[in-house]
Chains A and B, each alone.
Chain A
Protein backbone atom coordinates (compact mmCIF):
# COMPACT_ATOMS: atom_id res chain seq x y z
CA UNK A 1 0.00 0.00 0.00
CA UNK A 2 2.77 2.34 0.95
CA UNK A 3 4.87 1.53 -2.07
CA UNK A 4 1.90 1.89 -4.37
CA UNK A 5 1.12 5.29 -2.89
CA UNK A 6 4.68 6.21 -3.41
CA UNK A 7 4.51 5.11 -7.03
CA UNK A 8 1.47 7.25 -7.56
CA UNK A 9 3.22 10.30 -6.31
CA UNK A 10 6.22 9.54 -8.43
CA UNK A 11 4.12 9.24 -11.54
CA UNK A 12 2.25 12.43 -10.88
CA UNK A 13 5.37 14.49 -10.45
CA UNK A 14 6.32 16.15 -13.67
CA UNK A 15 9.97 16.14 -12.99
CA UNK A 16 11.14 12.93 -11.55
CA UNK A 17 14.38 12.91 -9.82
CA UNK A 18 15.79 9.52 -9.82
CA UNK A 19 17.82 10.14 -6.76
CA UNK A 20 17.81 7.70 -3.99
CA UNK A 21 16.41 10.22 -1.55
CA UNK A 22 12.73 9.37 -1.93
CA UNK A 23 13.47 5.67 -1.73
CA UNK A 24 15.30 5.99 1.52
CA UNK A 25 12.48 8.07 2.86
CA UNK A 26 9.98 5.43 1.88
CA UNK A 27 11.97 2.76 3.57
CA UNK A 28 12.22 4.82 6.70
CA UNK A 29 8.49 5.29 6.62
CA UNK A 30 7.97 1.63 6.18
CA UNK A 31 10.04 0.88 9.16
CA UNK A 32 8.36 3.36 11.40
CA UNK A 33 4.67 2.48 11.39
CA UNK A 34 3.44 0.67 8.35
CA UNK A 35 -0.13 0.01 9.42
CA UNK A 36 -0.62 3.52 10.69
CA UNK A 37 0.83 4.90 7.51
CA UNK A 38 -1.66 3.02 5.44
CA UNK A 39 -4.49 4.40 7.46
CA UNK A 40 -3.00 7.83 7.24
CA UNK A 41 -2.70 7.73 3.50
CA UNK A 42 -6.16 6.34 3.14
CA UNK A 43 -7.65 9.09 5.20
CA UNK A 44 -5.52 11.66 3.49
CA UNK A 45 -7.00 10.60 0.20
CA UNK A 46 -10.48 10.88 1.62
CA UNK A 47 -9.89 14.15 3.36
CA UNK A 48 -7.94 15.49 0.45
CA UNK A 49 -10.94 15.14 -1.79
CA UNK A 50 -12.98 17.23 0.57
CA UNK A 51 -10.20 19.69 1.05
CA UNK A 52 -9.74 20.04 -2.65
CA UNK A 53 -13.38 20.66 -3.11
CA UNK A 54 -13.33 23.29 -0.45
CA UNK A 55 -10.23 25.03 -1.63
CA UNK A 56 -11.19 24.48 -5.24
CA UNK A 57 -7.96 22.80 -5.96
CA UNK A 58 -7.38 19.87 -8.22
CA UNK A 59 -4.21 17.97 -8.66
CA UNK A 60 -2.88 20.07 -11.48
CA UNK A 61 -2.03 23.20 -9.50
CA UNK A 62 -0.02 21.07 -7.16
CA UNK A 63 2.14 20.05 -9.97
CA UNK A 64 2.47 23.48 -11.45
CA UNK A 65 5.40 25.60 -10.84
CA UNK A 66 3.33 28.55 -9.71
CA UNK A 67 3.85 27.56 -6.14
CA UNK A 68 7.27 26.15 -5.95
CA UNK A 69 7.01 25.50 -2.27
CA UNK A 70 3.73 23.59 -2.64
CA UNK A 71 2.63 25.26 0.50
CA UNK A 72 -1.05 24.42 -0.12
CA UNK A 73 -0.55 20.72 0.15
CA UNK A 74 1.86 21.19 2.99
CA UNK A 75 -0.61 23.37 4.79
CA UNK A 76 -3.27 20.80 4.29
CA UNK A 77 -1.11 18.09 5.73
CA UNK A 78 -0.08 20.17 8.67
CA UNK A 79 -3.47 21.70 9.24
CA UNK A 80 -5.05 18.96 11.37
CA UNK A 81 -2.23 18.84 13.80
CA UNK A 82 -1.69 22.50 14.46
CA UNK A 83 1.15 21.51 16.63
CA UNK A 84 4.30 21.58 14.71
CA UNK A 85 5.09 24.28 12.24
CA UNK A 86 5.29 23.23 8.65
CA UNK A 87 8.80 22.19 8.01
CA UNK A 88 10.43 24.40 5.48
CA UNK A 89 10.90 22.53 2.30
CA UNK A 90 14.36 21.60 1.34
CA UNK A 91 15.84 23.36 -1.54
CA UNK A 92 14.26 20.95 -4.03
CA UNK A 93 11.39 22.09 -6.18
CA UNK A 94 9.98 18.71 -7.06
CA UNK A 95 6.64 17.69 -5.76
CA UNK A 96 7.52 14.41 -4.23
CA UNK A 97 10.38 15.82 -2.25
CA UNK A 98 8.20 18.41 -0.65
CA UNK A 99 5.52 15.85 -0.09
CA UNK A 100 7.72 13.45 1.72
CA UNK A 101 9.05 15.35 4.71
CA UNK A 102 5.68 16.45 6.15
CA UNK A 103 4.21 12.97 6.46
CA UNK A 104 7.34 11.76 8.09
CA UNK A 105 7.20 14.54 10.57
CA UNK A 106 3.55 14.00 11.14
CA UNK A 107 4.13 10.39 11.86
CA UNK A 108 7.06 10.80 14.07
CA UNK A 109 5.83 13.51 16.32
CA UNK A 110 2.34 12.65 17.38
CA UNK A 111 0.85 9.42 16.14
CA UNK A 112 -2.06 9.43 18.60
CA UNK A 113 -3.44 12.74 17.51
CA UNK A 114 -3.21 11.61 13.94
CA UNK A 115 -5.25 8.55 14.66
CA UNK A 116 -7.93 10.44 16.52
CA UNK A 117 -8.14 13.11 13.90
CA UNK A 118 -8.40 10.66 11.11
CA UNK A 119 -11.04 8.73 12.94
CA UNK A 120 -13.13 11.85 12.99
CA UNK A 121 -12.38 12.70 9.43
CA UNK A 122 -13.19 9.13 8.50
CA UNK A 123 -16.56 9.45 10.10
CA UNK A 124 -17.08 12.79 8.51
CA UNK A 125 -16.14 11.35 5.18
CA UNK A 126 -18.48 8.40 5.42
CA UNK A 127 -21.69 9.94 4.21
CA UNK A 128 -23.61 6.68 4.10
CA UNK A 129 -23.59 5.97 7.84
CA UNK A 130 -26.50 7.00 9.98
CA UNK A 131 -26.04 9.17 12.99
CA UNK A 132 -27.36 7.72 16.22
CA UNK A 133 -26.63 4.12 15.36
CA UNK A 134 -29.04 1.43 16.46
CA UNK A 135 -27.68 -1.81 17.64
CA UNK A 136 -26.37 -4.15 15.01
CA UNK A 137 -28.87 -6.80 15.87
CA UNK A 138 -31.98 -4.72 15.24
CA UNK A 139 -30.54 -3.49 11.97
CA UNK A 140 -29.93 -7.05 10.91
CA UNK A 141 -33.43 -8.05 11.97
CA UNK A 142 -35.01 -5.25 10.04
CA UNK A 143 -33.03 -6.08 6.96
CA UNK A 144 -33.97 -9.73 7.33
CA UNK A 145 -37.64 -8.93 7.68
CA UNK A 146 -37.51 -6.60 4.72
CA UNK A 147 -35.87 -9.32 2.67
CA UNK A 148 -38.53 -11.84 3.57
CA UNK A 149 -41.29 -9.40 2.69
CA UNK A 150 -39.66 -8.68 -0.62
CA UNK A 151 -39.48 -12.37 -1.35
CA UNK A 152 -43.14 -12.86 -0.52
CA UNK A 153 -44.06 -9.98 -2.72
CA UNK A 154 -41.99 -11.43 -5.52
CA UNK A 155 -43.68 -14.80 -5.05
CA UNK A 156 -47.13 -13.17 -5.27
CA UNK A 157 -46.04 -11.37 -8.37
CA UNK A 158 -44.82 -14.59 -9.94
CA UNK A 159 -48.10 -16.29 -9.06
CA UNK A 160 -50.05 -13.53 -10.82
CA UNK A 161 -47.81 -13.87 -13.84
CA UNK A 162 -48.15 -17.63 -13.87
CA UNK A 163 -51.93 -17.44 -13.87
CA UNK A 164 -51.91 -15.23 -16.88
CA UNK A 165 -49.69 -17.69 -18.70
CA UNK A 166 -51.89 -20.62 -17.78
CA UNK A 167 -54.91 -18.74 -18.99
CA UNK A 168 -53.35 -18.21 -22.37
CA UNK A 169 -52.19 -21.80 -22.62
CA UNK A 170 -55.64 -22.94 -21.65
CA UNK A 171 -57.21 -20.80 -24.33
CA UNK A 172 -54.83 -22.23 -26.89
CA UNK A 173 -55.58 -25.77 -25.80
CA UNK A 174 -59.26 -25.14 -26.14
CA UNK A 175 -58.85 -23.80 -29.64
CA UNK A 176 -56.70 -26.78 -30.55
CA UNK A 177 -59.22 -29.22 -29.15
CA UNK A 178 -62.00 -27.55 -31.08
CA UNK A 179 -60.12 -28.17 -34.26
CA UNK A 180 -59.37 -24.57 -35.01
CA UNK A 181 -55.78 -25.36 -35.86
CA UNK A 182 -54.54 -25.08 -39.42
CA UNK A 183 -52.58 -28.19 -40.21
CA UNK A 184 -53.90 -31.66 -40.84
CA UNK A 185 -51.56 -33.47 -38.50
CA UNK A 186 -52.72 -31.58 -35.50
CA UNK A 187 -56.32 -32.13 -36.45
CA UNK A 188 -55.66 -35.85 -36.76
CA UNK A 189 -53.97 -35.85 -33.39
CA UNK A 190 -56.93 -34.15 -31.82
CA UNK A 191 -59.29 -36.61 -33.44
CA UNK A 192 -57.26 -39.47 -32.04
CA UNK A 193 -58.44 -38.47 -28.62
CA UNK A 194 -55.90 -35.84 -27.85
CA UNK A 195 -53.38 -38.40 -26.64
CA UNK A 196 -50.73 -36.96 -28.88
CA UNK A 197 -51.55 -33.44 -28.12
CA UNK A 198 -51.53 -33.86 -24.35
CA UNK A 199 -47.80 -34.33 -24.01
CA UNK A 200 -47.35 -31.39 -26.31
CA UNK A 201 -49.56 -29.33 -24.09
CA UNK A 202 -47.55 -30.31 -21.07
CA UNK A 203 -44.31 -29.64 -22.83
CA UNK A 204 -45.62 -26.35 -24.05
CA UNK A 205 -46.73 -25.34 -20.62
CA UNK A 206 -43.39 -26.30 -19.12
CA UNK A 207 -41.49 -24.42 -21.76
CA UNK A 208 -43.67 -21.42 -21.23
CA UNK A 209 -43.31 -21.61 -17.48
CA UNK A 210 -39.59 -21.80 -17.20
CA UNK A 211 -38.50 -19.44 -19.90
CA UNK A 212 -41.23 -16.90 -19.67
CA UNK A 213 -41.58 -16.58 -15.95
CA UNK A 214 -38.12 -15.15 -15.82
CA UNK A 215 -38.94 -12.30 -18.18
CA UNK A 216 -40.49 -8.89 -17.70
CA UNK A 217 -44.26 -8.50 -18.18
CA UNK A 218 -44.31 -6.82 -21.57
CA UNK A 219 -41.82 -9.18 -23.11
CA UNK A 220 -43.35 -12.34 -21.70
CA UNK A 221 -46.83 -11.40 -22.76
CA UNK A 222 -45.59 -10.88 -26.27
CA UNK A 223 -43.59 -14.06 -26.20
CA UNK A 224 -46.38 -16.13 -24.76
CA UNK A 225 -48.59 -14.87 -27.53
CA UNK A 226 -46.00 -15.74 -30.14
CA UNK A 227 -45.43 -19.17 -28.67
CA UNK A 228 -49.10 -19.94 -28.74
CA UNK A 229 -49.44 -18.67 -32.28
CA UNK A 230 -46.59 -20.92 -33.40
CA UNK A 231 -48.09 -23.88 -31.62
CA UNK A 232 -51.44 -23.29 -33.18
CA UNK A 233 -49.83 -23.25 -36.59
CA UNK A 234 -47.68 -26.34 -36.15
Chain B
Protein backbone atom coordinates (compact mmCIF):
# COMPACT_ATOMS: atom_id res chain seq x y z
CA UNK B 1 0.00 0.00 0.00
CA UNK B 2 1.38 3.41 -0.90
CA UNK B 3 1.81 6.00 1.74
CA UNK B 4 -1.13 8.30 2.38
CA UNK B 5 -0.48 11.97 2.96
CA UNK B 6 -1.52 11.38 6.57
CA UNK B 7 1.03 8.69 7.13
CA UNK B 8 3.29 9.68 10.01
CA UNK B 9 6.36 9.15 7.87
CA UNK B 10 5.05 11.75 5.46
CA UNK B 11 3.80 14.14 8.11
CA UNK B 12 7.06 13.90 9.99
CA UNK B 13 8.92 14.51 6.73
CA UNK B 14 11.00 11.36 6.98
CA UNK B 15 9.72 10.69 3.49
CA UNK B 16 11.22 13.74 1.94
CA UNK B 17 14.25 14.40 4.07
CA UNK B 18 15.63 10.88 4.24
CA UNK B 19 13.96 8.70 1.64
CA UNK B 20 11.60 8.99 -1.28
CA UNK B 21 7.99 7.83 -1.11
CA UNK B 22 7.83 4.07 -1.05
CA UNK B 23 5.39 1.24 -0.50
CA UNK B 24 5.25 -0.75 2.68
CA UNK B 25 5.88 -4.34 1.69
CA UNK B 26 6.87 -6.17 4.84
CA UNK B 27 6.41 -5.63 8.53
CA UNK B 28 9.05 -4.08 10.71
CA UNK B 29 8.83 -4.27 14.49
CA UNK B 30 11.31 -2.37 16.60
CA UNK B 31 11.27 -2.56 20.36
CA UNK B 32 13.47 -0.96 22.98
CA UNK B 33 13.08 -3.33 25.87
CA UNK B 34 9.37 -3.83 26.33
CA UNK B 35 8.50 -0.66 24.49
CA UNK B 36 7.49 -1.15 20.88
CA UNK B 37 8.23 1.79 18.66
CA UNK B 38 5.40 3.46 16.83
CA UNK B 39 5.88 6.31 14.42
CA UNK B 40 6.44 9.63 16.07
CA UNK B 41 6.88 8.16 19.52
CA UNK B 42 8.73 10.37 21.99
CA UNK B 43 11.75 8.85 23.65
CA UNK B 44 14.55 10.14 25.79
CA UNK B 45 18.18 9.27 25.26
CA UNK B 46 18.23 7.09 28.35
CA UNK B 47 15.53 4.89 26.82
CA UNK B 48 17.53 4.19 23.67
CA UNK B 49 20.86 3.34 25.24
CA UNK B 50 20.97 -0.27 24.08
CA UNK B 51 20.20 -1.58 20.67
CA UNK B 52 16.58 -2.49 20.03
CA UNK B 53 15.21 -5.84 19.07
CA UNK B 54 14.12 -5.79 15.47
CA UNK B 55 11.85 -8.35 13.83
CA UNK B 56 11.07 -8.27 10.19
CA UNK B 57 8.35 -9.96 8.21
CA UNK B 58 8.49 -11.37 4.76
CA UNK B 59 8.13 -14.93 3.47
CA UNK B 60 11.30 -16.29 2.04
CA UNK B 61 14.36 -16.87 4.15
CA UNK B 62 16.42 -16.48 1.02
CA UNK B 63 15.67 -12.78 0.83
CA UNK B 64 18.09 -10.58 2.69
CA UNK B 65 17.46 -7.19 4.06
CA UNK B 66 19.50 -4.26 5.25
CA UNK B 67 18.50 -2.15 8.23
CA UNK B 68 19.70 1.46 8.35
CA UNK B 69 19.21 3.67 11.39
CA UNK B 70 19.86 7.36 10.85
CA UNK B 71 19.29 10.68 12.55
CA UNK B 72 18.59 13.38 9.97
CA UNK B 73 18.52 16.21 12.49
CA UNK B 74 22.12 16.41 13.55
CA UNK B 75 23.40 18.46 15.23
CA UNK B 76 20.16 20.40 15.60
CA UNK B 77 16.84 20.23 13.74
CA UNK B 78 17.01 23.90 12.93
CA UNK B 79 20.53 23.60 11.56
CA UNK B 80 21.15 20.03 10.42
CA UNK B 81 24.42 20.57 8.62
CA UNK B 82 25.69 17.09 9.54
CA UNK B 83 22.64 15.36 8.11
CA UNK B 84 22.43 12.40 8.45
CA UNK B 85 24.16 10.55 11.24
CA UNK B 86 24.39 6.78 10.86
CA UNK B 87 23.64 5.06 14.14
CA UNK B 88 23.37 1.44 13.07
CA UNK B 89 23.80 -0.62 9.94
CA UNK B 90 22.92 -4.29 9.82
CA UNK B 91 22.99 -6.23 6.58
CA UNK B 92 22.13 -9.74 5.40
CA UNK B 93 19.13 -10.09 7.65
CA UNK B 94 17.10 -13.04 6.44
CA UNK B 95 13.36 -12.49 6.10
CA UNK B 96 11.17 -13.41 9.08
CA UNK B 97 14.13 -13.06 11.42
CA UNK B 98 15.77 -10.17 13.21
CA UNK B 99 18.97 -8.19 13.44
CA UNK B 100 20.50 -10.86 15.63
CA UNK B 101 20.82 -12.98 12.51
CA UNK B 102 22.32 -10.26 10.42
CA UNK B 103 25.75 -8.81 9.92
CA UNK B 104 26.36 -5.69 11.98
CA UNK B 105 28.52 -3.51 9.75
CA UNK B 106 28.23 -0.37 11.81
CA UNK B 107 27.71 -1.07 15.46
CA UNK B 108 24.85 0.51 17.34
CA UNK B 109 25.51 3.95 18.73
CA UNK B 110 22.79 5.27 20.95
CA UNK B 111 21.26 8.54 19.86
CA UNK B 112 21.99 11.29 22.32
CA UNK B 113 20.88 14.61 20.92
CA UNK B 114 22.17 17.69 22.63
CA UNK B 115 19.94 20.21 20.98
CA UNK B 116 16.33 20.01 19.89
CA UNK B 117 14.07 17.08 19.17
CA UNK B 118 15.62 14.72 16.63
CA UNK B 119 13.86 12.22 14.43
CA UNK B 120 15.55 8.83 14.36
CA UNK B 121 14.48 6.66 11.46
CA UNK B 122 14.95 2.95 10.90
CA UNK B 123 14.60 1.82 7.32
CA UNK B 124 14.61 -1.61 5.81
CA UNK B 125 15.92 -2.24 2.32
CA UNK B 126 15.82 -5.42 0.33
CA UNK B 127 19.16 -6.63 -0.89
CA UNK B 128 19.71 -8.12 -4.30
CA UNK B 129 21.93 -10.81 -2.87
CA UNK B 130 24.06 -11.63 0.11
CA UNK B 131 27.22 -9.71 1.09
CA UNK B 132 26.70 -6.98 -1.38
CA UNK B 133 26.70 -4.03 1.02
CA UNK B 134 29.71 -2.35 2.61
CA UNK B 135 30.01 0.07 5.47
CA UNK B 136 30.69 3.77 4.87
CA UNK B 137 33.77 5.44 6.30
CA UNK B 138 32.07 7.95 8.49
CA UNK B 139 28.85 8.10 10.40
CA UNK B 140 28.06 11.73 9.82
CA UNK B 141 26.98 13.21 6.52
CA UNK B 142 25.52 9.88 5.58
CA UNK B 143 23.08 9.97 2.71
CA UNK B 144 20.53 7.18 2.75
CA UNK B 145 19.41 7.81 -0.81
CA UNK B 146 22.93 7.65 -2.16
CA UNK B 147 23.70 4.59 -0.09
CA UNK B 148 20.66 2.80 -1.46
CA UNK B 149 21.57 3.79 -4.98
CA UNK B 150 25.17 2.67 -4.62
CA UNK B 151 24.22 -0.80 -3.49
CA UNK B 152 21.13 -1.19 -5.65
CA UNK B 153 18.83 -1.36 -2.70
CA UNK B 154 16.08 0.70 -4.32
CA UNK B 155 13.31 2.13 -2.22
CA UNK B 156 12.76 1.03 1.37
CA UNK B 157 10.31 -1.76 2.03
CA UNK B 158 9.54 -0.65 5.55
CA UNK B 159 10.35 2.23 7.84
CA UNK B 160 9.62 3.51 11.29
CA UNK B 161 10.79 6.57 13.15
CA UNK B 162 10.66 8.04 16.62
CA UNK B 163 11.47 11.37 18.19
CA UNK B 164 14.40 11.53 20.53
CA UNK B 165 15.55 14.29 22.80
CA UNK B 166 17.93 14.67 25.67
CA UNK B 167 17.06 13.68 29.14
CA UNK B 168 16.25 17.02 30.62
CA UNK B 169 14.19 18.61 27.92
CA UNK B 170 15.02 19.40 24.34
CA UNK B 171 18.05 21.56 24.97
CA UNK B 172 16.56 24.92 24.12
CA UNK B 173 17.80 27.35 21.57
CA UNK B 174 21.47 27.63 20.86
CA UNK B 175 22.80 30.69 19.11
CA UNK B 176 23.75 29.54 15.66
In the assembled complex, the CB of A162 is this many whole angstroms from the nearest CB of chain B, namely: 5
Stretch of A13-21, A30-38, A152-160 at the chain-chain interface: A152-160
Whether the pair A167, B78 counts as a contact (CB closer than 8 A) is no
Whether the pair A163, B77 counts as a contact (CB closer than 8 A) is no
**Cβ contacts under 8 Å, A162 to chain B:** 11
**Cβ contacts under 8 Å, A152 to chain B:** 78
A109 at the interface (CB under 8 A from B): no
B12 at the interface (CB under 8 A from A): yes
A139 at the interface (CB under 8 A from B): no
When each residue 145-176 of chain B gets 1 if its CB lies under 8 Å from chain A and 0 otherwise, what string results? Answer: 00000000000000000010000000000001
Q: Using a Cβ cutoff of 8 Å, how many contacts connect chains A and B?
A: 30
In the complex, what distance in Å separates the CA atom of A153 from the CA atom of B40?
A: 16
Q: Can you name the residue of chain B whose Cβ is closest to the Cβ of A153?
A: B78
Decide yes or no: A153 and B6 within 8 Å by CB, A164-B40, A167-B38 being known contacts: no
Decide yes or no: A159 and B77 within 8 Å by CB, A166-B6, A167-B38 being known contacts: no
Interface size class of B (residues with CB under 8 A): 10 to 19
Which positions 135-176 of chain A face chain B at CB distance < 8 Å? 149, 152-153, 156, 159-160, 162-164, 166-167
B97 at the interface (CB under 8 A from A): no
Contact with A159, one of B12, B79, B176 (Cβ below 8 angstroms): B12
Query: What is the interface of chain B, defined by CB distance below 8 A to chain A?
Result: 6, 8, 11-13, 38-40, 77-79, 117, 163, 176
Extra 9 A-B pairs, beta carbons < 8 Å, given A152-B78, A205-B6: A149-B79, A149-B176, A153-B77, A156-B77, A162-B11, A163-B11, A163-B39, A167-B38, A167-B40
**23 interchain pairs, CB-CB under 8 A:** A149-B78, A149-B79, A149-B176, A152-B78, A153-B77, A156-B77, A156-B117, A159-B11, A159-B12, A160-B12, A160-B40, A160-B163, A162-B11, A163-B8, A163-B11, A163-B12, A163-B39, A166-B8, A166-B11, A167-B38, A167-B39, A167-B40, A205-B6
